[in-house]
């Protein structure tokens, strides 16, 4: 290919424009109606008294609770090179109840980095504890390739219904990861470690 040829340069420029446009439109946030809790219900958690561990790759998983959640995607953070990315390629900041209402969220800035989720606001529309009780950073561990492809394509504003297990993990190399077991905690250790077996994704309220 002659990269100095004007026609070649034009073709490359067109391909780049198409790719950039596709990336923009395929990842732009989904808008939801204001004043509506698009995911109104709390997650359902059923603790497991006598869990049976299972193996996945070089890790031993202990299911701590059955977990069923329908939540609005508040943020999506992809990971590629951190120690846990082989297990969890995506972290989701999830919101339900008041934290699924655009009227509340428009006053809150949400950020994700280094496996944490944070927020800030200049106008506190709801009590601080309610924000914590109705949102969470969740480490998503896909159970199969279908789930992996779905979570990698999630966009802010979408509504996801996911089922699986909150888990604790031990790696053959000594790595450990433990899920939070309550929605009331904050800070270190407050993230859910979620083995996802089923997922449905919606652009509009269910």
Cα–Cα distance measured from residue 117 to residue 93, given in angstroms and rounded to the nearest whole number: 7
Digit-coded pLDDT (tens) for 2-30: 556 555 444 444 443 333 333 334 458 99
Q: What is the DSSP letter of 20?
A: H
pLDDT above 90 (res 144): yes
pTM of structure: 0.84
Question: Mean pLDDT, to the nearest integer, of 120-143?
Answer: 90
Digit-coded pLDDT (tens) for 78-103: 998 887 888 999 999 999 999 999 99
Look at residue 187 in the predicted model and tell me its pLDDT: 84
Question: Mean pLDDT, to the nearest integer, of 120-131?
Answer: 84
């Amino acid at each position: 290919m002659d990269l100095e040829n004007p026609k070649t340069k034009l073709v490359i420029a067109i391909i780049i424009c198409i790719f950039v446009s596709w990336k923009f439109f395929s990842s732009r946030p989904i808008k939801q109606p204001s004043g509506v809790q698009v995911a109104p219900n709390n997650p359902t958690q059923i603790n497991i008294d006598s869990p049976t561990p299972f193996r996945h790759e070089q890790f031993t998983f202990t299911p701590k609770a059955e977990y069923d959640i329908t939540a609005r995607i508040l943020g999506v953070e992809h990971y590629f090179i951190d120690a846990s990315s082989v297990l969890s390629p995506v972290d989701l900041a999830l919101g339900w109840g008041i934290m699924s209402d655009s009227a509340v969220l428009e006053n809150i800035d949400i950020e994700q980095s280094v496996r944490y989720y944070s927020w800030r606001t200049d106008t506190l529309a709801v009590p601080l504890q309610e924000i914590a009780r109705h949102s969470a950073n969740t480490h998503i561990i896909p159970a199969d390739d279908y789930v992996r492809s779905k979570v990698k394509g999630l966009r802010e504003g979408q509504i996801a219904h996911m089922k699986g297990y909150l888990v604790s993990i031990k790696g053959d190399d000594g790595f450990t990861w433990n899920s939070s077991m309550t929605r009331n905690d904050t800070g270190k250790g407050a993230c859910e470690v979620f083995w996802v077996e089923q997922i449905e994704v919606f652009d509009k309220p269910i």
